[in-house]
A and B are shown apart, each in its own frame.
Chain A
Amino acid sequence: MIEVRELCREFTVTTKVGRFRRERRVVRAVEDVGFDVAAGEAVGYVGPNGAGKSTTIKMLTGILVPTSGHVRVCGVDPSRGRRELARRIGVVFGQRSQLWWDLPLRDSFELLRAIYRVPRGDHASRLRECVELLELGPFLDTPVRQLSLGQRMRGEVTASLLHGPELLVLDEPTIGLDLESKERLREFLSDLNARRGTTLLLTTHDLDDIERLCPRLVVIDRGTVLADGPLDALRAEVAPERVLVIDLERPADLDGLPGVTATKVELNGLRQHLTFRRAETTAAALISAVAARAEVHDLVVVEPEIDDVVRRLYARR
C-alpha cells in the first residue's frame, strides 16, 4: 500500500545575519527514510516534534515533492499523480480543517461528494454508516464553526471516508480531544481497520492511540527511522523488564527471588514492586515463587509504558 525508499527532503532556511546579510542554509527534514506498509495494516508513525513526521506525511499525500528517494502510495507516485491519489486516500489533519467553516456539516459532505464524484448511492450508504457509528445526527445541520472540537473531528473523519479510500492517513487526529472523544474515535478507527480492511497510518503524540490502534510502530527522530516493528517486539528489545506489583496480607521479606533485578517496597512491606526480565523468568513462575513465601492478596503485571519505550529508543541513539 505504501512503499518508501531512501526518502529525503531538504528545505532552504534563510536566517538574518546582521543588518543586511542573510544566510541560506539547507536543512534536512527527512533523511533516508524507508518503510513499507501492507494493505490492511495499522501503523503508528511517531517521533518528537520536528522529527520529520509531518514532512513525510506531506510527501506521502502529494503535498510536497521529495528532494530524492522513491515513494509509491497505492501504486501511485504522489508527486506526479496527486489528483489520482487524492481519490484513493483519505487524509485527516488534527490541526486544520477540510470542512467549510460556515456551512452545515451536511452541506460540506454534499460538496465533497461532488468534488470526488462519488455515486449518490455509495455516498449515502457511507454517510449513513458514519452518522450512525460516530453519532453525527444531532449536529448534522449545525454550521461547522459552531461545533465543538470533538464533534468537528468526527466530521473531519467522516469527510475523509466518503469517497471510500483504501488508505486513511491521520496526522495527530486526537490532539486536543477529551478522553471520551478520543476513545470514541479510536474505537471507530479500530473497527474501520478490522472490518473494512482500510489501511491506517497515523502520527500521534498520544501513545494510547498506538496502544489501542497500531500493532506496528515506526519511530522517527531527526529525519531518520530509529525503529520499525511490532510494539511488543520493540518493548522486548529496548525495555525487556516488566514489574510485578504484589499486595500481601502480611508484610514479608521477598528478597532473593530468582530472576528479580530490583525490588521496591511500599506500605511497610505490604506492597512490593518486583522488576524482572522476561528472558529470565515468567510472570507465572515468579508469582508461584512469591506465593510459596507469603500470602498474596492481589497482584498486577505492569508492562513498560510505551512512552518509556520511545524514550529509550531516543536515548539509545
Chain B
Amino acid sequence: MAEGVYLKLVGARLRGQMSYRTSFALQCVAQAINQLAELAIILVLFNRVSALGGFSVAEVVLMYAIAGTAFGIADMVAGQLDELPTYIRTGTFDVLLLRPLGTLAQMMASDLHLRKVGRIVAGVGSMVYALSHNDIQWSGWAVWLVVAAPVSGAVIFSSIWVAANAVCFWVVDGQELANTVTYGSNAFTSYPATVYGPWLRRFFAFVVPGAFVAYYPSLALLGRADPLGGPGFLGWVSPVVAVVAAVVAGVVWRTAVRHYRGTGS
C-alpha cells in the first residue's frame, strides 16, 4: 500500500522532469561524463605507476566501477536528502509531518534524481569492462556477488546519506559536514583501502562502512586475500552490513526527527 504511494510520487516526479526532455538528456550525459572523468583519472594515474596499493589497473577499475554504480543508485534515491536544510528552513518539513506517512519515505520520494541514470549507466559499463579484464573464477556465487555488491553498496551509501544529513536537524548549517561524509565516502570507496593511511582507513572502512561497498566484494571476486589481513568472509557480508547500516540510519533519523519535534535532547 505504502509502496503504491511511493511509486505514484515517483511517477509524478518523472512526468515533471520529462516535461523538459532536452535538458534531461543533457543532464544525463553530463552525469555520465562526470563519472567517466574519474575513471580517466585512474587510467592516467596508472600511466605513471604500475600498481596502486598493491592492485593492478583492472582491479582498481573494478572497485571504482562497483562504487560508482552503487553511489549512482544511492544518489538517485537518497540524493534528495541534500535538500533537507531548505526543507527545514522553509517549513516544508512541517508539511511532511502533517501527512499520514513517514517523513523519510516522503523526503526520498519528494524527488528522484533521474538524471543520475547517466552515472549508473557509466558505472555499469565500467563494471562490465573491469569484469572482462580481470581473471575471475566464474561461479553462481560470483554472479550473485556481482549483483549483490552494487545493490548493497547503494543501501550502504543511502544509509550514510540519511545518517549524515540528519545532522541538519541539530545544526541547520550541517550540510558541509554531511557532504564530507557522503561524497567523502564515495571518494574513499573508489580506490583500494590500502592506499589510505590507517586512521582514515579505519574511519571510512568501519565507522562509515565504506570498505564493504567495493573493496571487500572486489577482493572476493578477484579471489585475492586482503593485504591488510582481513578474513576472507568479509567479501561476502556486504548485504548484512547494508541491512545493519539501514537499521542504524533509520534509528538516527527517528532520533533526529524526535529532536526536531522537541522530545529529544
A residues whose Cβ falls under 8 Å from a Cβ of B: 9, 58, 61-67, 79, 82-84, 86-87, 91, 93, 95-98, 100, 102-103, 107, 110-111, 114-117
Pairs across A and B, CB under 8 Å, 6 listed: A58-B94, A65-B263, A82-B97, A95-B91, A100-B12, A114-B4
Q: Is the CB of B100 within 8 A of A9?
A: no
Q: Which residues of A contact B92 (CB under 8 A)?
A: 96
How far is A102 from B110 in the complex, measured between Cα atoms in Å? 12
State whether the Cβ of B30 lies closer than 8 Å to any Cβ in chain A. no
Q: Does the CB pair A79–B261 fall under 8 Å?
A: yes
- A residues less than 8 Å from B101 (CB atoms): 83, 115
**Which of B72-129 touch A at CB < 8 Å?**
90-92, 94-95, 97-101
B1 contacts the other chain (CB 8 A): yes
A193 to B95, CA, bound (A): 24
Q: Which chain B residues in 9-55 approach chain A with CB under 8 Å?
A: 9, 12, 15-16, 19
Contacts of A96 in B (CB 8 A): 90-92, 94-95
Do residues B9 and A63 form an inter-chain contact, with CB atoms below 8 A? no
User: Nearest 8 pairs between A and B by C-beta?
Assistant: A86-B100, A65-B262, A83-B100, A96-B91, A65-B263, A102-B16, A63-B97, A114-B8
A111-B97 in contact given A79-B263, A117-B1 (Cβ < 8 Å): no
New A-B contacts (17) at CB < 8 Å, excluding given A79-B263, A100-B12, A110-B8: A9-B262, A62-B97, A63-B94, A64-B261, A65-B262, A83-B100, A86-B100, A87-B100, A93-B94, A93-B95, A96-B90, A96-B95, A98-B95, A103-B15, A107-B12, A114-B9, A115-B100
Q: How far is the CA of A9 from the CA of B262 in the complex (A)?
A: 9
Measured between beta carbons, the chain A residues less than 8 angstroms from B263 are 65, 79
Docked pose: A114 CA to B6 CA in angstroms: 9
Across the two chains, which residue of chain B brings its CB closest to A108? B12
With A96-B92, A96-B95, A114-B4 known to touch, is A63 a contact of B261 (CB < 8 Å)? Answer: yes
Whether B9 contacts A111 by the Cβ 8 Å rule is yes
B1 touches A67 (CB 8 A): no
Q: Indicate the member of B16, B92, B99 with the most A CB atoms within 10 Å.
A: B99
Chain A: minimal CB distance from B103 (Å): 10
Q: Give the docked Cα–Cα distance between A111 and B110 (Å).
A: 11
Bound form: Cα–Cα A93–B4 in Å: 27
**Chain B: minimal CB distance from A219 (Å):** 24
A95 to chain B: closest residue by CB = B91
Question: Chain A contacts of B15 at CB under 8 A?
Answer: 103, 107
A63-B19 Cα distance, complex, nearest whole Å: 34
Complexed CA–CA distance, A116 and B100 (Å): 7
Contacts of B100 in A (CB 8 A): 83-84, 86-87, 115-116
Give complex CA distance A61, B92 in Å. 15
B251 interfacial by beta-carbon distance below 8 Å: no
Chain B residues with Cβ under 8 A from A79's Cβ? 261, 263
Closest to B97 in A: A63
A66 to B95, CA, bound (A): 18
**Chain B residues whose CB sits within 8 angstroms of the CB of A65 once the complex forms:** 261-263
The smallest beta-carbon distance between B7 and chain A, in angstroms, is 9
Q: In the complex, what residues of B have CB within 8 A of residue A58's CB?
A: 94
Whole-angstrom CA separation of A101 from B263 in the bound complex = 31
Closest residue of chain A to B1, judged by CB? Answer: A117
How far does the Cβ of B112 sit from chain A's closest Cβ, in whole Å?
13
Q: Shortest Cβ distance from A88 into chain B, in angstroms?
A: 9
Q: Tell me the complex Cα distance, A98–B16, Å.
A: 17
> What residue in chain A is nearest B92 (Cβ atoms)?
A96
Nearest-CB distance from B172 to chain A (Å)?
A: 12
Interface centre among B15, B98, B262 (most CB of A within 10 A): B98
A63 and B5: CB pair below 8 A? no
| Inter-chain contacts of A86 with B (CB < 8 A) | 98-100
Q: Smallest distance from the beta carbon of B154 to chain A beta carbons, Å?
A: 26
- Knowing A63-B94, A107-B12, the reply to whether A115 touches B5 (Cβ < 8 A) is yes
Give per-residue flags for B179-191: 1 if the beta carbon is below 8 A from chain A beta carbons, else 0. 0000000000000
Contact B12 A111 (CB under 8 A): yes
A237 to B9, CA, bound (A): 53
Query: Nearest Cβ distance between residue B102 and chain A, in whole angstroms?
Result: 8
Chain A residues within 8 Å of B262, by CB: 9, 64-67
Residues of A within 8 A of B90 (CB): 96
CA distance A97 to B92 in the complex (A): 7
Q: Which residue of B lies closest to A61 (CB)?
A: B98
